[in-house]
Amino acid sequence: MTWRCSGLSWPQGARMAVLRWEGGRVSPLIAGKSLGFRAEGVRRCVGARGNPCPSRIEVAAHLTAARCAECGRLERAHSVAADTLADDPRTYRVYLAWFGPGLVKVGITGEERGSARLLEQGAVVFSWLGRGPLMAARRAEELLRGALGVPDRIPYAAKRAVLATLPTNARERAAEVEELHRRATELGRWTETLEPLGCEIVDHTAVFGLGGLPAPTGFVRGLIDGGAVAGTLIAVAGPDLHLRTAGDGLVVLDTRLMTGWSLIGAGPTAGVSVPMASAVSSDGDGLIQDGLF
């Protein structure tokens, strides 16, 4: 039996990520459990905004978004990032997120989503800054990005590169966010249109399973027909699974690379037989049973 993955998500209020499958089934991602799969056929476009791709176009294995150009355009057309929702009546929050020493960003997310966006991005530490209408939150984000000298995006390669070397002391992990929060509050200009929120540090180290995480030996670059990925789950951070393989290596799999493929279960001894990038060069019923996805 084949399964088609819809991606990894962090349900609001949950302390554990799940893999979602077409048809509505979910698989909790529990550290210490064995899991594995094998890809079949070719990778095809997953469509946009809940609608299937009418052409089911084949898409490249290395893309994190399994969408053709047209479906990609439709998916982005009404997103918050595209700034096409100026009249959105919902409340938004501005946040500071820390991914490692020197890796801090400012961003916005819908208030009703809680911390889900921060978990999806793999933020190790974060704090809210303020809340209010979308366009006021967007203006504050732009102002703070320049005033604090922080970006609104950090590449996943940079995030992954530091996970095994994060400070073990929680106070050290929180220090940069606390300092930037203080500076942002003192700046003041953005507080005229947003309700400022006090600095309350949230640390996801334990949720992700990062304590004592070893350095990876490789990163999955993409799946191939007949290629397997299998091992024991050690940690889940953002969209990434950290798997201890049969050969005792630690492989990182971005679950966005799984979408668009037909997958079948594979035992934990199947190992990894897909294109890989080494850790050094990285800068820059079957599926649901125990032991399988």
pLDDT tens-digit readout, 170-215: 999 999 999 999 999 999 889 989 999 999 999 999 999 999 999 9
* Residues ≥6 apart with Cβ < 8 Å to 196: 129, 130, 185
Q: What is the pLDDT of residue 121?
A: 96
The angle subtended at Cα 105 by Cα 191 and Cα 110, nearest 5°, is: 60
Q: What is the pLDDT of residue 83?
A: 57
Q: What is the pLDDT of residue 292?
A: 42
Q: Which of 174, 207, 10 lies closest to 100, judged by CA? A: 174
Residues 59 and 65: their CA atoms lie apart, in Å, by 9
Q: Is the separation of the CB atoms in 156 and 122 below 8 Å? A: yes
Q: What is the pLDDT of residue 248?
A: 76
Q: What is the pLDDT of residue 89?
A: 87
Residues 145 and 112: their CA atoms lie apart, in Å, by 24
Long-range contacts formed by 172-175: CB under 8 A, 24+ apart: 173/98, 173/124, 173/125, 173/203, 173/205, 174/98, 174/125, 174/201, 174/203
Q: Is the separation of the CB atoms in 99 and 162 below 8 Å? A: yes
* Residues ≥6 apart with Cβ < 8 Å to 178: 127, 199, 201
For the sheet with 3-9, list strands across it: 26-28, 18-21, 3-9, 262-265, 34-40, 228-237, 240-244, 250-254, 218-220, 276-278
pLDDT tens digits, the chain, 293 residues: what are they?
789 999 999 987 668 899 999 988 999 999 999 999 999 999 999 999 889 999 999 999 999 999 999 999 999 886 666 555 667 889 999 999 999 999 999 999 999 999 999 999 999 999 999 999 999 999 999 999 999 999 999 999 999 999 999 999 999 999 999 999 999 999 988 998 999 999 999 999 999 999 999 999 999 999 999 999 999 999 999 999 999 998 879 999 999 999 999 999 998 788 899 999 987 544 433 343 333 44
Q: What is the pLDDT of residue 291?
A: 38
Q: What is the pLDDT of residue 23?
A: 87
- Locate 117 and state its tokens: 């966006």
Residues 86 and 245: their CA atoms lie apart, in Å, by 47
Q: What is the pLDDT of residue 85?
A: 63
Determine how many CB atoms are found less than 10 A away from the CB of residue 63: 16
Q: What is the pLDDT of residue 33?
A: 94
Q: What is the pLDDT of residue 13?
A: 67
